[in-house]
Amino acid sequence: MDGNSAKAIPYESADSSGVKSPSAVSRKPSGDIAISVQNVFQIFKGHEGKPFTAVEDVSIDVPAGQFLAIVGPSGCGKTTVLNMMAGLVAPSKGQVYLNNEEVKGPSRSMGYMFARDALLPWRTARDNVEFGLELRGVPADARRARSQKLLKLVGLSKFENAYPSQLSQGMRQRVALARTMAIEPDIFLLDEPFAALDAQTKLQLESEFELLWQDTHKTAVLVTHDLDEAVALADRILVFGANPGRIILDRMTNLPRPRNVESIRYMPEFQVVAREIWELLRSK
């Protein structure tokens, strides 16, 4: 869910029932850690104003260049953790660091992409891709060169002058992906970016993203319901459990790179990882 408007309850003022006592003192992460989530809690106002612990004592260090996926049942706090990384919602307790700086709000070093990413309807595909570059003051010819390159990569060169209403959902997601790539963020935060697509387009776009990512090896955090997608794309998988949201498994996949996100699914190593996670989720 979109946590933009979320009102977090400070830990100290929350009902202490059901909330673990804080377990660690914050520390500044070391140099090669791109994202450091430290003993984070998120307590929302639930029914009748009662505090509800959505995320309990979650700690994650994401080394620079790692591709991390977060999976888990609906409502286990995946999006909430991503929103805290993005600085869209403050933790009730604990700290989040991006590139060694404590997160106090959204950062320009980060590209955030949602499941149904809204394009600006009055702008063409090309102008949507260039939007973030305009905000950063990139000159017009450099913007144009970058948007053309990215639209080509996502197979939309012929549609650069089309408006979002003239594009299919899959095409709009491609434009959104190109727009996220255009700003060349240090860190990608992806919340179900391929969820709204049919199976074939999804696979195509996953492959395109994998190719683009392989070029740059930027830090990426992907939240997804799709276990196969997580294993196919990521280096490391975090499985969350619900009530309260917490980490129940942290696993490196150790699958080879570069990889083909389609054929890797047939590798026995892929199936071992996918089955292990599937069985864990099923047993919860």
Q: Of 153 and 227, which has the nearer Cβ to ligand ATP? A: 227
The answer to the question of residue 283 lying near ligand ATP (CB under 6 A) is no
Euclidean distance between CA atoms 63 and 3, whole angstroms: 25
The answer to the question of residue 236 lying near ligand ATP (CB under 6 A) is no
The answer to the question of residue 54 lying near ligand ATP (CB under 6 A) is yes
Q: Of 164 and 245, which has the nearer Cβ to ligand ATP? A: 245
The answer to the question of residue 114 lying near ligand ATP (CB under 6 A) is no
The sheet with strand 33-45 has its strands ordered as 51-63, 33-45, 93-98, 101-102
Q: Of 78 and 126, which has the nearer Cβ to ligand ATP? A: 78
DSSP 30-90: PTTEEEEEEEEEEEEE-GGG-EEEEEEEEEEEEETT-EEEEE-STTSSHHHHHHHHHTSS-
Tokens for 82, please give them: 């991503």
CB of 216 to ligand ATP, least distance (A): 26
Establish how many alpha carbons lie within 13 A of residue 77's alpha carbon, considering only the half-sphere containing its beta carbon.
Answer: 28
Q: Which residue in 78, 93, 143, 218 binds ligand ATP (CB under 6 A)? A: 78
CB of 74 to ligand ATP, least distance (A): 3
Euclidean distance between CA atoms 56 and 237, whole angstroms: 18
Put residue 57 in one of left, alpha, beta given phi > 0 → left and psi -120 to 50 → alpha: left
The answer to the question of residue 79 lying near ligand ATP (CB under 6 A) is yes
How big is the site for ligand ATP, counted in residues (CB under 6 A)? 15
CB of 46 to ligand ATP, least distance (A): 6
For ligand ATP, the binding residues (CB under 6 A) are 1, 3, 6, 44, 54, 72, 74-80, 225, 245
